[in-house]
Amino acid sequence: MVRSDRRTISIVIGRDGSITVRAPLQTPEAEINRFVEAKGEWIRQAVEKQRQRREAAPAFAVGGSMPYLGKSLLVATGRVRTAVEKDGTLVLPESGDPREHALRWLAKQAEAYLPGRVGYWSGIMQLAPAKLTLANPKTRWGSMKSDGSMRLNVALMHCDPSLIDYVIVHELAHMRHMDHSPAFHAFTQRYLPDAMARRAVLRQFGAYLTLLRGN
């Protein structure tokens, strides 16, 4: 249960199946309980859906593969000090945690790639973030704060470049519309007419948010 300065009661089902109820500060507990009970069937279905997603989530392992910018890299170990990509293979050091090696490599690629795409779309949309941060949150591809601070997920590097561009345009559009109103979507589609189609495809990559972080 989380109480805050909000107007409505909401229920959030975490990827791990956790249930969080958010409610206004002064809402009586009895009213909150009635709300939760009324949503009982929805909660059960949502928890089950998250369980199925966890079981279907892709695994990361040496000898397998990892999606990278719309392609697939084989994952292997070799006599290297740090992870390196060679001819379509991501070669990791033989010692240490493979996930950590791969995540550090992915973060390095994100640092080299994502700011350039943000700069490209900022020029077209005439909307530049005050600050750009790259991070590894488990639930969001990107975010934009009201002060113009933009955050992008390193895991975007698992996605096709067209999906990365969608996330960037989506977040920059929030500098004009800090909501998901019809005006926001119209503004986004001004630059990406197929924005909604890209959004639908991006949902299929949700499991990759935690591929190198664990579920």
Which of 11-25, 90-104, 112-126, 151-165 shows the lowest per-residue confidence on average (mean pLDDT)? 11-25
Strands 131-135 vs 149-153: parallel, antiparallel or unpaired = parallel
Tokens representing residue 67 in the block: 């999606």
Average pLDDT over residues 148-152: 97
pLDDT in tens, 169-191: 999 999 999 999 999 999 999 99
Find the Cα–Cα–Cα–Cα dihedral 186, 190, 193, 196, rounded to 10°: -40
pLDDT at 15 over 80: no
Hey, how many other C-beta atoms are within 10 angstroms of the C-beta on 87? 7
Band of residue 56 on the pLDDT scale cut at 50, 70, 90: low
For residue 154, the model assigns a pLDDT of: 97
Partners of 132 in the beta sheet? Answer: 150
Q: Return all residues near 21 (Cβ < 8 A) that are at least 6 apart.
A: 1, 2, 9, 10, 11, 32, 35, 36
Rounded to two decimals, what is the model's pTM? Answer: 0.77
Q: Is 215's pLDDT higher than 60?
A: no
Is the predicted pLDDT of residue 69 greater than 70, yes or no?
yes
Structure tokens at 165: 């561009």
pLDDT, one tens digit per residue, over 92-111 is: 999 999 999 999 999 999 99
| Residues present in the chain in total | 215
CB 213 within 8 A of CB 58: no
Count of CB atoms situated within 10 Å of the CB of 121:
19
